[in-house]
Structure 1
Amino acid sequence: MSFYLLKEHLQEVATGICGKMSIVLEIENLQISINGDDPFPSASLIKIPIMMEAFRQAQIGMLDLDETYRVPSEASVGGMGVIQHLRPEIELSIHDLITLMIIVSDNTATNLLIDLVGMEAVNKLSSDLGCNQTLLARKMMDVTAQKNRKDNWTSAYDIVKFLKEIDQGKLLTSKQRTNALKTLRQQQFHSKLPALISESFSEETYVAHKTGELPGTEHDAGIIQANGKRAYIAVLTTDLDNNITGQKAIAQIGKLVFDHIMEK
């Protein structure tokens, strides 16, 4: 399947859902963008730049990833994650918090990391990378902020920029880029981009990704590595009639991209 034909198939998926979809795909300097610059509610994709800022601060000595942090009982919030279900005042390393924020989208871990690295620092990182549609304006599960119309935003184009920066950029050292990529590869939620990929994953074949969801919103974005090729993909949806349709559409896109890069 040619890259042009792949674009046609992605466009068909994007126009076939009851809702709005944005796709940005880059493979070997070729790019497909469908509504790629449009701002979307970020949901948990905002956790990617939070992770990046935490690793950036670690490399310049502002954070010690091995330092343990006692989680105050009052810091626990609902939604995604496991910390809320663990014993009160549990101690976790900063690296543990980053891992939980990404692989199980833990909201409590995310809020603690926002406190540690600073909301302004995350937004400066986004701005410095030219990710101008990305804004961290509130913590996770902050209902008051939402009522005051403060929300977190991003775009498919920005997310692909973050992914490429993690994989091959200069913001992070090789060590911290490896940490970030390893964390994305440990993702525990596989109902979207990897859902229809039957190939066994290995060091050479994998999907390193981060999901996000809200009512009416489904996202997934990551790096698909296979057949010696690497695809950077971000698929964002919102205004869905139901979330399952968004999940299925993203899974279909993941399969299309994987099959394309597996071709000789």
Structure 2
Amino acid sequence: MTDAVARIHAAFADAGVTGRLHALDIDSGDQLGAGADQPVCTASVHKLCLLVALHERAARGVLDLAEQLETVPGERTAGPTGVAAMLDAARLSLRDLAYLMMAVSDNAAADLLLRRVGLDAVNATTARLGLTRTRAVHSFGDMLATVKEDAGPDGARALADPRVVSRLRALDPARTNRSTPRDMTRLLGAVWRDEACTPEHGAAMRRIMGLQVWPHRLASGFPFDDVHVAGKTGSLPTLRNEVGVVEYPDGGRYAVAVFTRTAHTAATLPAADAVIGTAARIAVDALRAKAFRSSR
């Protein structure tokens, strides 16, 4: 395991990022970490916490996932995908909004759900599951508003300046939605073992996470037709994250959380994206090798 951790740190260094990782064998409990307990900004990864809170409340009969919500242009949280990018009014169920929130990281869908579920309910859910270092501080729209405010009058152009980026509250775990890699794998393990919700709702959450469309981070480390990856990304200036579960045909299930930060302010960061898959693969291979040795 020590060699794997060294290789993970070397991969992060080669990609020019500061990286934090935790990987968990969901069934045996074996784990591997590299900065696993360091606080990190979750960005859109926190939508997973909202998803679990939504399904927990549905399982208790507090809300109905078939309930319809109206979304109107001009009242939506900004974003480049899903309802956030649409030009006309739409009416969708809570479960379809959850799909858009997770599959394409739709900010507008997430905030519609958050208004229905409540920030306190999200934090109550993560607390119940023992995620002591995880906290939702604000909505996704409010988080983006802090970026706009901190960037100043030059707007998005200012985000190319490292000095401006360094003052963004959205990149400070003490002032934004936050967690740790270990907390996130604990949450994923609870979802995959049906401890977060009833089996019916656990299956629904796993299905939605398996429909995420982005293949360039976690999934890039596992380019096999018979290996299934379900995840949730998160992105902000200089920050690239993903948490998810890798499932092998032999039944092995591995929760992985990778959070990266770079000094580069470019909007496109292919090296940071790719190292998430690289580091995850190193960690999962080490856990699988340990399991193989233990079985002999």
TM-score by length of 2: 0.80
SS in 2 for 1:162: helix
SS in 2 for 1:63: coil
1:229 counterpart = 2:252:
yes
Shift of 1:257: 4.4
2:275 to 232, 243, 249: 249
2:111/2:141 contact within 8 Å kept: no
> For the residues of structure 2 that align with 1:85 and 1:14, how far apart are their CA atoms?
33
Task: Map 1:90-101; keep pairs closer than 5 Å.
Answer: 90-101=90-101
Task: Map 1:150-165; keep pairs closer than 5 Å.
Answer: 150-165=175-190
> For the residues of structure 2 that align with 1:218 and 1:47, how far apart are their CA atoms?
15
Task: Map 1:110-259; keep pairs closer than 5 Å.
Answer: 110-142=110-142, 143-145=144-146, 147=149, 149=169, 150-201=175-226, 205-226=227-248, 227-241=250-264, 243-257=269-283, 259=285
Shift of 1:158: 1.1
1:145/1:151 contact within 8 Å kept: no
SS in 1 for 2:65: coil
Mark the CA change 1:42 to 1:56 in structure 2 (over 3 Å): closer, same or farther: same
Paired residues, number: 259
Larger radius of gyration: 2
- Residue identity matched to 1:211: T
Shift of 1:171: 3.0
- Residue identity matched to 1:195: S
1:80/1:104 contact within 8 Å kept: no
Q: Which residue in 1 is equivalent to 2:51?
A: 51
SS in 2 for 1:105: coil
Paired-residue identity, %: 22
Task: Map 1:20-35; keep pairs closer than 5 Å.
Answer: 20-27=18-25, 28-35=28-35
Shift of 1:88: 2.3
SS in 1 for 2:45: helix
Shift of 1:248: 1.8
SS in 1 for 2:260: strand
Q: Which residue in 1 is equivalent to 2:7?
A: 9
Deviations, residues 60-119 of structure 1 (Å, cap 9, x unaligned): 111111111111323322224221333522010100011100010000000001100000
CA RMSD across the alignment? 2.1
> For the residues of structure 1 that align with 2:288 and 2:186, how far apart are their CA atoms?
23
Shift of 1:186: 0.7
- Residue identity matched to 1:192: R
2:9/2:19 contact within 8 Å kept: no
Deviations, residues 8-30 of structure 1 (Å, cap 9, x unaligned): 32232234443321000112321
Shift of 1:165: 0.9
